[in-house]
Structure 1
Amino acid sequence: MSGRRGLIGLGIGVAAAGVATAAGLATDRVVRARRARPDPAGVLDDPELEQRGTVVVADDGVPLYVEIDEPADPATGSAKDLATTVLLVHGYAHSHAIWAQQRRVIHEAGYRVVCPDLRGHGRSGEGDDTTYTIAQLGRDLATVIEQTTPEGHLVLVGHSMGGMALMALAEQHPQLIRDRVVGVALVGTSAGGLSEVNFGLGKQLGGVVHRLGPAAVARVDRRQDVFNAARLLGRNVESALVHRYSFGGPVPKDVVREVAEMIFGTRLHVIGAFLPTLMEHDRIEALAAFEGVETLIVHGTRDRMTPIAHGERLATTLPGAELVAVHGAGHVLPLEAPDLLDTELLAFLERAERSVSATRSDRPLGAKESR
C-alpha cells in the first residue's frame, strides 16, 4: 500500500510540474547519468562544446551555459541590421534544445542568436534551491545579455517560464527595454494566475494538485524506491503523460521522446523548487515596459498548462500586440507547430526591424490580430 501511495503522490507531483509530468518516471539509469553529468563550470574544457558553447557566471556564481550563433558573414550587406540579436529563452524543465528549428531558421535569415540554458536546466549549473525563482531568472538573463550582447538591438523570445523570465527582466531593467529591445515574442506563457489552472483535471482534483504537488515532487526526489516502482509502469505510460501535458494533438513519437529527455535532464528537486514561484508569478504590471515595442503572442488553444485565456490576457494588456492562436495545439509549440512558429517569428522579426527607424513615441502599434 505504501508503494501505491508513493505512486499516487508521484502522479500529483508530476501533474503540478506542468510539462514535467513524466519526470518522476525516470529510470535509475537516467538518474545515475544525470548525477554523473560533468560540472557545467568546466564545459569549456570539452573541445566539442568549446566550439559552440560558452559559460556566463550569474551574480551568485552559478555557471549558465549559452550557445551563440553569429551571422555567417556580417560584412556582406543587406537592408537587414545584422547587429540585431535574438535571445531565445526556453521554458520549465526544458533546455535551449527546444528552439533547435527556430534557431536555425532565424540564424539563416541573418540574425545573431543567443540561446541560454536557465539555471538548473540543460547544461547550466545548479544554485541553491532558494534561487529558483522567476526574479532570479530575470537577473540571470540580464547577466547573459551584459556578457554576450553588451550593445546593439535586441529581440526577446520566451516560451513558457522563459516568457515569465523576460517579464522579470523588464520589471528589473525597464531602461534596457526602452533603449535596446525592438521586439518581444511570448510563446505559451502567462503574466500570472497559474494557481487557478487545473491542468485539465477539473476544479477539485486541480486544487489537490496545487496543494500537494511541490511536496510530492520533493518526496519522490528523495526516494530511489519510488523511481524503481515507477519504472515498472513502462515507457508507454511515461510517453502518454508527456504527450498529454505537452501537446494538443498527434505528434511523432520521437518528438515526445525529445521532450521527455529534456525533462529527464532536469533534477526533480529543481522542478519542485520552481513550482512555488510559478504559482506566485504575477507580473501583469511589468508588461507596461513592453508598450511601444513590436510584440507577438503565440498560444495553443489546447494548452493545458497555460490555457489560451492567459495569451488573450497578454494581448488585452499590451495594446497593439498580435495574438496568434494555434488551433488544436498544446503547450510545446516550438516542437508541435514548428513551421507555423517559424513563419510567425520571421514575419515578427521583419516588423521589428522596420520599427527600428521609428522613435518609441512615433512607432505605430498596429491592430491586434487573432488567427
Structure 2
Amino acid sequence: MDFSYRRVEVAPSVSLNVGLLGEGSPIVLLHGFPQTHLMWRHVAPRLAAAGHQVICPDLRGYGDSDKPDGTAAYAKRVMAADVVALAQALGHERFALAGHDRGALVAIRAGLDHPGHVTHLASLDVLPTLDSWEVLHGTAGVVGFHLYLMAAPAPIPERLIAGAPDVFFGHFLDAWGNGAIPPDVREVYLRASRESIPSIVSDYRATATIDVDDDQVDRVDGNQLRMPVTVLQQDWGAALGFDAKARWGAWASDLSHHTVTAGHFMAEEEPDLVVRHLLALLER
C-alpha cells in the first residue's frame, strides 16, 4: 500500500506535506528526528488495514513541509496547532494522535492544549519536555549532547552542523537504528536533514526555551492529558536514574506505560509491536 499525498495549509504561509492511507476513524502519526513521515511506512498500512485513515505529515521544518524562520515558529504549541488545523482541513474535528521523539513532544502539547480534539495519545520513546531536561545530568547525560548543541545561540550550531551534516545526522541514524533503516531510506533522511538544518536547530532551540516555560506553567496549574495515553519507552530510567512511569504518571492519569526492548526507532525496528499497542490504545 502506497501513500497518497496532499499539501495542506495549516497556518499562513505554512503548508505541510502529508501522506494519507486508508479510510475510517483518523489517526495522525508524527515522526521524529532525523526522519520524515516515512518512518511510519511499516505501521501505516497495518493501521489502514484495521479500518483507520492514517495521516502522516512531515512536521513543519522537516522533510518536504514548509520551513519558516525563527525559534518561535517551532514552539511545540505552534506545531501542535498545525496538527489540529491539518486534521480539520481533512474533515476531522476529533482524532487519535501518536508521535515519536520530536513528534511525540508535539503530540503531548496537542493533547494538553487541545483535549477536545485529541481522543487518544501515544508517545514513543520520549519524556515530556520539562522532565527530559530534569533527568539529563552528569556524565550519563552526554547521550543527549545534541540537545545542548542545538540549544546554543545562532549561528553556532547551524554552522557547525552544516560543516558535516551527514556525519552529524548519520550518527543518530546509525547509533540508534539497530539496522532497521535501509540504505535508501537512510539517504532520504540525510537529504531531508541537510536541507533543513536551520529549522531543525530552531525546533530544538525552542525545546530548550519556549517549550520548557509552557510545560512549567502546565505543571504548576496541574494541567494533565485527559485522554487515554500509551507510552512505549526504552529503559532510560535504568541508565539515567529515574522512574519513567512515575514521571509520565504526573502528566496522565489514564496511562498505559510499557518499557520495551526495541531501540529508539521502534516503529521501523519492531512495527508489529507498535501497531499492537496503538490498536490496543484505540480500543480504550
Task: Provide the TM-score with structure 1 as the length reference.
Answer: 0.62
Match of 1:67 in 2: 19
Question: Which residue in the other structure is 2:179 paired with?
Answer: 251
Is the alpha carbon distance of 1:274 and 1:302 closer, same or farther for their aligned partners in structure 2, counting shifts above 3 Å? same
Which of 184, 189, 200 does residue 126 from structure 2 map onto?
Answer: 189
Alignment partner, residue 267 of structure 2? 334
Q: Matched residues in 1 for 2:161 and 2:254: separation?
A: 51
Which of these two proteins has the greater Rg computed from alpha carbons? 1
Q: List runs of 5+ in structure 2 lacking aligned partners.
A: none
Counterpart Cα distance in 2 of 1:176 and 1:320: 17
CA distance in 2, matches of 1:264, 1:317: 36
Corresponding residue for residue 254 of structure 2: 320
SS at match of 2:272: helix
CA contact (8 A) 1:105 1:342 kept: yes
**More strand as a share of residues:** 2
Q: Is the 2:8–2:86 contact (alpha carbons within 8 Å) kept by the matching residues of 1? A: yes
2:5 maps to what in 1? 53
Residue 346 (str. 1) matches residue 274 (str. 2): no
Match of 1:295 in 2: 229
Unaligned segments of structure 1, at least 5 residues: 1-48, 72-81, 353-371
Aligned-partner residue type, residue 63 of structure 1: S
How far residue 211 of structure 1 moved from its aligned partner, in angstroms, is: 5.1
Q: Tell me which of 179, 182, 189 is aligned to 1:262.
A: 189
**Whole-angstrom CA distance in 1 between matches of 2:173 and 2:230:** 27
Q: CA deviation at 1:294?
A: 2.5
- Residue 145 of structure 1 is matched in structure 2 by 87
Q: Say whether 1:242 aligns with 2:169.
A: no
CA distance in 2, matches of 1:97, 1:305: 29
Cα distance in 2 between the residues matched to 1:54 and 1:110:
20
Distance 2:180 2:43 in 1: 18
Query: In structure 2, how many angstroms separate the alpha carbons of the residues matched to 1:213 and 1:161?
Result: 13
Q: Cα gap change, 1:316/1:67 in structure 2, threshold over 3 Å: closer, same or farther?
A: same
Deviation at residue 343 of structure 1 after TM alignment: 1.7
The one-letter code of the counterpart of 2:204 is: L
TM-score after normalising by structure 2: 0.79
* Root-mean-square deviation (Å): 3.6
Residue 129 of structure 1 and its aligned partner are, at CA, apart by 2.2
> For residue 124 of structure 1, what is the aligned residue in structure 2?
65
For the residues of structure 2 that align with 1:154 and 1:241, how far apart are their CA atoms?
Answer: 31
Give the 3 Å change call, closer, same or farther, for CA 172–268 of structure 1 in structure 2. same
| Inter-partner Cα distance in structure 2 for 1:325 and 1:173 | 27
Q: Distance in 1 between matches of 2:202 and 2:239?
A: 18
SS in structure 1 of the partner of residue 122 of structure 2: strand
Residue 226 (1) aligns with residue 155 (2): no
Cα distance between partner residues in 2 of 1:95 and 1:88: 11
Given the superposition, is the C-alpha separation of residues 86 and 164 from structure 1 closer, same or farther in structure 2, using an over 3 Å criterion?
same
Amino acid at match of 1:337: E
1:99 to 32, 35, 40: 40
